[in-house]
Amino acid sequence: MSARVRNALIALAVLLAGLAVMWFLRSHQRVCQPATLPAYGEPTFNPLFALREALRRDGVDAETRRTLDLAGMQLQPRDTVLLLDDPRQLTPAQVEQLVEWVEYGGHLLLRMPAADEALDGEQTLFGRFGIAPGKVAPRCQPWHVPGQEEHQEFCAGPRFTLGEHARVERRWGDAIDATLAYARLRYGSGRVDVLADMDFLRNGRDTQDTGLRGLPHRDLARLVLAPNYGKGRMHLVYAAEAPSLWRIVLQRGWPIWLPLLLALLAWLWMRAQRFGPLQPSPRQERRSLLEHVRASGEHLHRYGKSPLLYDAVRQSFLARLRRRAPLAAALAGDAQLQAIADHLRWPLERVRLALQLPPSRDDAALRERIALLIQMRNQL
C-alpha cells in the first residue's frame, strides 16, 4: 500500500469519527435523574434498621440485636424490649427473666404468631400473661389519623383473646367476636403490648405508605412505644432464635454449593468404574479358532498330508521331552528309545511304535500313534 492511499484512509477514518461525534452530541442530551438503588448492608438483614435510626434521631437510646441476649442487654426497669420473632422459641429461663423484668417496670412488645399446638402452652410468655390465639381468620383493623386517609392495619396478623384476670390498659379489636388486634396489659409495674403483626415497624419498601415512611405508621409506632419512650434504652430484637449455620448455607449459599456439588458429581461419574458384575466373566473358548484348526487338519488328511499332522504332534512331544528329560532328548536311536521307556515306565516296543511314522493312507495307525504321542507328552 502506497503512502498516498494510507494517508487518504486515515483522513477518511478521522472524518467519519468526527461526524459520529457531532451526530451523538446533537441527538443526545445529558439529563440528571435520581434513581433508587437497592438496599445494601445492614438494612438487607435487619428489618428494624429504619426504626432504630428514627428513634436515635429523636434522641432515644435504641439498639438492635439479632437474638435475645439478656446477659448482654442488662435490662433496667425503664427499658423497652421489642421481639419481632416468635417469642415461643424462648427458653423457660429467658421467659422467667423477662416476666420478672416486666414486673419491675419494663415494657415488652410481642407479636402474636399463628396458633401451634406444639408450641402453645402455659410456660410461654403468652401463657404467663394470659394471652391465647384467637380461632378466627385474620382481618384488617381500621386506623384513622386526623388529616390523613383511613388506613387498614393488622391485616395479615392472627387475632388473640385475653384471660379473665388480665389487667387491660388499652385494647383494640372487634366487638363481634371479642378478638383483639392490639392490647396493652399491666403486669406489676410494667406493661406488655401484644400486636397481631408488626409490619408497620419494619423497613419501608419502594412506596411511601409502607414501613415508617407513612405518617399513620409513625403515629401508630409512637403509640405502641409510648410507656417508656425516652425513659430508658430500647432493645429491638428481630430474631429471637438465630438460624443455624447450615440453614443459612442451604438457603443463601446455593449459588456456590450447587455448582460445586454438580461439578463433584460429574467428576465422580467420570472417574468411577462402569456398573457391571463384581468379577469378570470367564473367557469363552474361541469356537471359530477350533473350527479352523479342525478344518485345517481335515484338509491335510484329505489331500494325503497326514505325515505333517503326525510330525507336528511328534515335535510337540520332543519339545516337552527336552524340557522335562534333557538327558533322554540328547540321545539318539535305540538308546533314546530305551531312556524314554525307562522314564515313562512303558514297554520299549510301545515307545518305538509311537515314534515311527505311520504308513500312508493308514488312518487307524495314524490315530493310534498320535494318541500314543499325546499320552506320552502328558506323562512327562
Q: Please list the residues that pair with 184 across neighbouring strands.
A: 170, 193
Residue 281 lies in a domain: no
Residue 34 lies in a domain: no
Looking at this protein, which amino acid is placed at residue 268?
L
Q: Please list the residues that pair with 75 across neighbouring strands.
A: none
Q: Cell numbers of 286, please? A: 474361541
Q: Please list the residues that pair with 331 across neighbouring strands.
A: none
Instruction: Give the whole-angstrom CA distance, residue 155 versus residue 197.
Output: 8
Domain boundary among 210, 243, 276: 243
The pLDDT of residue 52? 93
Domain boundary among 181, 216, 243: 243
Q: Could you tell me if 97 and 200 lie in one domain?
A: yes
For residue 195, give every residue at least 6 positions away whose Cβ sits within 8 Å of its Cβ, in sequence order, or none: 109, 110, 111, 112, 154, 157, 181, 182, 224
Whether 84 and 50 have beta carbons less than 8 Å apart is answered as: no
Instruction: Give the whole-angstrom CA distance, residue 157 versus residue 175.
Output: 17
For the chain, the first-to-last Cα distance in angstroms comes to 92
Q: Could you tell me if 90 and 170 lie in one domain?
A: yes
Q: Could you tell me if 223 and 84 lie in one domain?
A: yes
Domain region containing 335: 292-379
Q: Please list the residues that pair with 174 across neighbouring strands.
A: 179
Q: Cell numbers of 68, please? A: 435475645
The pLDDT of residue 289? 72
Work out the number of other CB atoms within 10 angstroms of the CB of residue 136.
Answer: 15
Residue 312 lies in a domain: yes
Q: Could you tell me if 307 and 231 lie in one domain?
A: no
Q: Cell numbers of 171, please? A: 385494647
Q: Could you tell me if 237 and 302 lie in one domain?
A: no
Whether 46 and 238 have beta carbons less than 8 Å apart is answered as: yes
The pLDDT of residue 276? 64
Instruction: Give the whole-angstrom CA distance, residue 72 versus residue 87.
Output: 18
Domain boundary among 243, 273, 304: 243
Instruction: Give the whole-angstrom CA distance, residue 313 versus residue 193.
Output: 110
Q: Cell numbers of 326, please? A: 534333557
For residue 73, give every residue at least 6 positions away whose Cβ sits within 8 Å of its Cβ, in sequence order, or none: 65, 79, 81, 235
Work out the number of other CB atoms within 10 angstroms of the CB of residue 130.
Answer: 18
Q: How many domains are there within the chain?
A: 2
Q: Please, what is the angle between helix 254-271 and helix 245-252, to 10°?
A: 80
Q: Cell numbers of 380, please? A: 512327562
Q: Could you tell me if 226 and 297 lie in one domain?
A: no
Q: Cell numbers of 282, please? A: 470367564
Q: Could you tell me if 231 and 317 lie in one domain?
A: no
pLDDT in tens, the chain (380 residues): 678 888 888 889 999 999 999 998 888 888 888 887 777 788 888 889 999 999 999 999 999 998 888 999 999 999 999 998 888 888 889 999 999 999 999 999 999 888 776 677 777 888 888 888 887 778 888 888 787 777 888 888 888 888 888 888 888 887 667 788 899 999 999 999 999 888 888 887 654 456 777 788 888 899 999 999 999 999 999 885 556 778 878 888 889 999 999 999 999 888 877 666 667 677 766 667 777 778 887 877 787 777 888 888 888 888 888 888 888 888 888 888 888 888 888 888 888 888 888 887 788 888 888 888 888 888 88
The pLDDT of residue 124? 84
Segment (H or E) for 192: strand 190-195
Q: Could you tell me if 215 and 350 lie in one domain?
A: no
Instruction: Give the whole-angstrom CA distance, residue 331 versus residue 55.
Output: 120
The pLDDT of residue 367? 84
The pLDDT of residue 242? 55
Alpha-carbon distances of 59 from 53, 216, 217, rounded to whole Å: 10, 21, 19
Phi/psi of residue 133, nearest 5 degrees: -70, 140
Q: pTM for the full model?
A: 0.56
Q: Please list the residues that pair with 151 across neighbouring strands.
A: 143
Q: Could you tell me if 194 and 341 lie in one domain?
A: no
Longest dimension (CA), the chain: 139
Q: Could you tell me if 172 and 232 lie in one domain?
A: yes
Residue 28 lies in a domain: no
Residue 111 lies in a domain: yes
Instruction: Give the whole-angstrom CA distance, residue 168 versus residue 184.
Output: 6
Q: Could you tell me if 235 and 318 lie in one domain?
A: no
Instruction: Give the whole-angstrom CA distance, residue 90 versus residue 67.
Output: 10
Q: Cell numbers of 165, please? A: 384476670
- Domain of residue 133, CATH code: 3.40.50
